[in-house]
């Protein structure tokens, strides 16, 4: 069963089979062993380094899984600090605020109600993926047997850190919003997820924010799938923005670490273009800063960062890689197409709450309509969107693509990127499916259509629309 629930970046499956309380205990046991060993190996002997922060989302299975997970942690010998019902970025904050050896969030993010899982981070909230510790945790968990161990007696305490978290996020808010001298109206769709808890606790009572609440109930059911990357899931926030004449709308995913923004007309803003717009504000206050982006992002982002005097840093796709690049380059800000936004002053970690704070602050500082601000970015390049192909031999198909454009600039940071100047594309293999994923960009829609047809023929695969 352990093999079924461990994924590339987290642990996730249906509850109670295969993800059962028994497995949750084993995962707690294995996680405690991994986190304590890492802390010792890095020379941390502070007593707090024997503590693991645990939080949970609003899913009906979360309390049972959290209880079993915590027992496994404590039976191994680590102590638990239970922060209760929180958004996933809260865990990164708590681990750093308290100085713990790591943290675990019980959540299945944007998956349907039948799913649940665990997101794990270690010291300083560094992410734990399959190549950075999950494989070790899986091996340790396989050796844990609740019926045969003598509990080591780790302690458990509950901590309410919401006020400290609120102060932390407010550091990213324009002071004019905090004192009410500027006003911004935003429609927020919490997707019946943890934003329904986080937004009132963090942004409630801020004088300059008027919030139109959508789907803020948190009973473990969803009015729509809690995935803001699916355009149909944005319908309610789009309608609310238009009907209430809000300045913008924002839709969070289930655990509120990702978000998508729509402008005052209800039009969706691509997360790469939102990164570019937010980067302009970052660079205005910190000229020369590095901005990290995933390599699928529009060239409009790169051009915006360079025009602002910043340094664009390309990254492989995936939050583990984005966080690594953020830390390595001491980047002030970063974003990826999946809706994760990263902040140096948030321990290089992502945060939906801080992304919202920055959007509201930029709206307060630039009283133009959001659609007007985004217009130059939307008009400079045309994107294909991600197109999936079922391909029998992925490596051979990528090699054929590279050979077909001998004069192009080629790199292999993630799959293969072909840059022909007036157009470019990236083709990368899926980690979990027999698919190649194509992202292509050119100056006109006609050029995009032509080049997509050309690349499709070279890849020689079946196009899959999902």
362: tokens are: 């930029």
Report angle CA 384, 390, 395 to the nearest 5 degrees. Answer: 95
Q: How many other β-carbons are positioned within 10 Å of the β-carbon of residue 463?
A: 12
Helices (H), 404-444: none
DSSP 115-146: EEEEEEEEGGG-B--IIIIIHHHHHHHHH--T
Between CA 161 and CA 346 the distance in angstroms is 16
Please confirm, yes or no, whether 380 is among the known catalytic residues: no
Integer distance in angstroms from the first to the last C-alpha of the chain?
A: 28
- Closest listed residue to residue 161, CA positions, set 83, 99, 92, 231: 83
- Partners of residue 81 on adjacent β-strands: 53, 157
Tokens found for residue 120: 């794990």
Q: How many of the other CB atoms lie within 10 Å of CB of 268?
A: 19
Q: How many CB atoms lie within 10 A of CB 112?
A: 13
CA 366 to chain centre: 26
Q: Which residues pair with 187 in a beta bridge?
A: 212, 249
**Residue 46 is encoded by which pair of tokens?**
């502070």
Q: Is 241 helix (H, G, I), strand (E, B) or coil?
A: helix
Angle between helices 299-307 and 370-380 (to 10 degrees): 110
Q: Are 100 and 55 in contact (CB under 8 A)?
A: no
Rounded Cα distance, 456 and 131, in Å:
32
Cα–Cα distances (Å) from 82 to 57, 104, 117, in that order, read 12, 10, 17
Residue with tokens 């039976």, as numbered in its chain: 75
- Do 238 and 262 meet the contact criterion of CB atoms below 8 Å apart? yes
Are 357 and 172 in contact by the 8 Å Cβ rule? The answer is yes
**Cβ atoms of 206 and 233 closer than 8 Å:** no
Residue with tokens 């000229």: 287
Count of residues in the chain: 466
Active-site residue among 20, 61, 62, 109?
Answer: 109
What distance lies between CA 223 and its chain's CA centroid? 22
Query: Is 202 in contact with 169 (CB distance < 8 Å)?
Result: yes
Q: Which residues are catalytic?
A: 109
């Amino acid at each position: 069963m352990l093999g079924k629930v461990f994924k590339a970046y987290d642990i996730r499956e249906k509850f109670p089979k295969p993800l059962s309380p028994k497995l949750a205990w084993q995962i707690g046991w294995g996680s405690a062993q991994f986190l304590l060993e890492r802390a010792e190996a890095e020379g941390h002997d502070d007593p707090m380094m024997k503590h693991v922060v645990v939080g949970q989302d609003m899913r009906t299975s979360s309390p049972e899984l959290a209880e079993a997970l915590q027992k496994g942690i404590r039976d191994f010998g680590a102590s638990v600090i239970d922060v209760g019902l929180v958004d996933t970025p809260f865990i990164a904050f708590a681990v750093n605020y308290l100085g713990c050896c790591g943290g675990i969030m019980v959540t299945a993010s944007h998956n349907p109600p039948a799913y649940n899982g665990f997101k794990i981070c270690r010291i300083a909230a560094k992410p734990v993926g399959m190549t950075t510790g999950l494989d070790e945790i899986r091996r340790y968990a396989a050796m844990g047997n609740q019926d045969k161990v003598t509990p080591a007696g780790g302690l458990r305490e509950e901590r309410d850190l919401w006020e400290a978290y609120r102060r932390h996020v407010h550091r990213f808010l324009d002071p004019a919003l905090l004192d009410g001298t500027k006003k911004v109206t935003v429609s927020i769709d919490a997707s019946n997820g943890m934003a329904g808890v986080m937004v009132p606790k963090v942004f409630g009572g801020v004088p300059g924010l008027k919030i139109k609440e959508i789907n803020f109930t948190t009973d473990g059911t969803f009015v729509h799938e809690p995935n803001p990357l699916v355009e149909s899931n944005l319908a309610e926030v789009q309608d609310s923005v238009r009907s209430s004449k809000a300045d913008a709308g924002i839709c969070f995913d289930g655990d509120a670490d990702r978000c998508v923004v729509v402008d005052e007309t209800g039009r969706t803003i691509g997360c790469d273009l939102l990164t570019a717009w937010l980067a302009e504000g970052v660079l205005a206050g910190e000229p020369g800063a590095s901005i990290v982006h995933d390599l699928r992002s529009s060239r409009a982002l790169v051009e915006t960062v360079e025009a602002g005097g910043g340094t664009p840093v390309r990254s492989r796709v995936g939050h583990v890689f984005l966080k690594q690049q953020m830390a390595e380059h001491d980047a002030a800000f970063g974003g990826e197409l999946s809706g994760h936004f990263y902040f140096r002053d948030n321990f290089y970690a992502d945060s939906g709450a801080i992304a919202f704070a920055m959007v509201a602050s930029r709206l307060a500082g630039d009283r133009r309509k959001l659609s007007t601000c985004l217009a130059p970015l939307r008009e400079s390049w045309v994107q294909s969107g991600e197109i999936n192909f079922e391909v029998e031999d992925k490596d051979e198909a990528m090699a054929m693509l590279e050979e077909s454009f001998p004069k192009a600039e080629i790199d292999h940071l993630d799959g293969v990127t072909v840059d022909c100047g007036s157009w470019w594309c990236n083709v990368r293999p899926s980690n979990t499916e027999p698919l190649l994923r194509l992202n292509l960009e050119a100056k006109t829609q006609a050029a995009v259509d032509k080049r997509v047809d050309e690349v499709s023929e070279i890849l020689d695969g079946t196009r899959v629309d999902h």
